[in-house]
Structure 1
Amino acid sequence: MLENAVARRYSNAFFAIAQEQGLTDRLETELKNVVDAIYSNEDLKRVMEHQLVSPEEKKVILEKVFIDEISEVTMNFLKVVIEKYRASYIPAIYEEFVSYANEARNMADAQLKSAAELTEADMALIKTKLSEVTGKTVRLHAEVDPNLICGVVVRIGDKVIDSSLVGRLKKLKENLLQIEVKEIGVRN
């Protein structure tokens, strides 16, 4: 809970700056690149998240690694985050920033898991249906999960649409367990 509140507060401030300066897309990309770089390098991740490494040392490292990669706006923002001992929140701040940016663009990201590779036509149809339901332009991120056996699971925001065989079997099991509980209760 604390992480979400902190991430929202910082990302809201950064997003306001981005909108004010007309740099939303650029700053989103820069923040993503920072997150990807930090969390793809285990040593850098440990240093940035370690509480005994001083904010000053972290800022020096940040400048050395990203000086030619990110704007002064992003660099200054990250320095503030680090000064406030919030470096470990950077990925969550990025996620919240993307949410704000998507809302401003009237976009939504959807994660789709399917049991098998879907055709471009199937993907386009799912994307169209999700856009109709949400009233937003949907960016679909697909991955194959053979554990689903068949069907798809779509997560968009906090909603999940589960039309997989595994999901249907779980629902059937829940329904059967409720019937058994009701029957046992009636007999007593």
Structure 2
Amino acid sequence: MAGEDTSLSGLAGRYALALLELADDKNELDTVAGDLRGLKQILVESEDLRRLVDSPLYSREQQSKAISAILKKASVNELTRRFVLVVTENRRLFVLSDMIDVYLAELSRRRGEVTAKVTSAQDLSDTQQQALTEALKKSMGSKVQVDVTVDPSLIGGMIVKVGSRMIDSSLRSKLQRLQLAMKGVG
């Protein structure tokens, strides 16, 4: 299912658009967006959860029980909880990550924001995140929504993606470039 369509016309897009409309009707766009960012981070960090979400071997009931427990622990709002449970009931959990991406991208688009995907080696403090947001806003000339994920394998630094542009200042990449340069010397 890796090639799933994430445009608004695809499966993920239809679900995300439905959630966006419901959240807009209830004036909970930002609350739902925050919940979805949290769920996305949990998906990134938990291999067991990814296995549960991606595997067709788990029954609907098993997935539902596990997802309900995660949603309760994450303290998501009622609309987000009901949405994820409907996705689970419809056996569409394997597309949840794409649904989250489409929801957040469409929300940003409607607000005239540019989304910057930032992967850092460790959690950014509020001050660091604010400074990064301001620097990106100045560079891009428009409102910037920063989507931060943590990947300890970067060792240090960060990777920033805005549209088709990418800036990789991670220590891992610098070490890889150095390793390649050293191989060329001998």
> 1:46 and 1:138, CA in 2 relative to 1: closer, same or farther beyond 3 A?
same
Distance in structure 2 (CA, Å) of the matches to 1:15 and 1:43:
28
Matched, 1:15 2:20: yes
Does the 8 Å contact 2:4/2:95 carry over to 1?
A: no
Structure 2: gaps of 5 or more residues: 120-129, 149-158, 168-186
For the aligned residue pairs, the C-alpha RMSD in angstroms reads 3.2
The SS at the match of 1:70 is coil
Cα distance in 1 between the residues matched to 2:103 and 2:60: 23
Structure number with greater Rg is 1
Q: Which of structure 1's runs of 4+ aligned residues deviate more than 2 A?
A: 110-113, 120-129, 138-142, 153-157, 159-162
More helix by share: 1
Instruction: State the match for 1:44 in structure 2.
Output: 49
1:128–1:89 Cα change, 3 Å: same
Q: Which amino acid aligns with 2:84?
A: L
- Unaligned stretches of 5+ residues in structure 1: 114-119, 143-152, 163-188
Q: Call closer, same or farther: CA 1:54–1:156 in 2, change over 3 Å.
A: same
Cα distance between partner residues in 1 of 2:131 and 2:37:
30
Within the candidate set 1, 6, 11, 1:6 is matched to 11
- The counterpart of 2:93, out of the listed 80, 87, 101, is 87
Count of matched residue pairs: 143
CA distance in 2, matches of 1:20, 1:26: 13
TM-score (norm 1): 0.63
Q: Does 1:137 align with 2:143?
A: yes
* CA distance 1:7–1:130, change in 2 (3 Å): same
Q: Which residue of 2 aligns with 1:147?
A: none
Q: From the superposition, tell whether residues 80 and 121 of structure 1 become closer, same or farther in structure 2 (CA, over 3 Å).
A: closer
1:160 to 2:165 alignment: yes
Measure, in 1, the Cα distance between the counterparts of 2:160 and 2:61.
43
1:58 matched to which residue of 2?
Answer: 63
Question: Cα 1:123–1:80, aligned 2, differ >3 Å: closer, same or farther?
Answer: closer
Alignment of 1:106 with 2:116, yes or no, is no
- Cα deviation for residue 47 of structure 1 reads 1.5
What percentage of aligned pairs have identical amino acids? 20
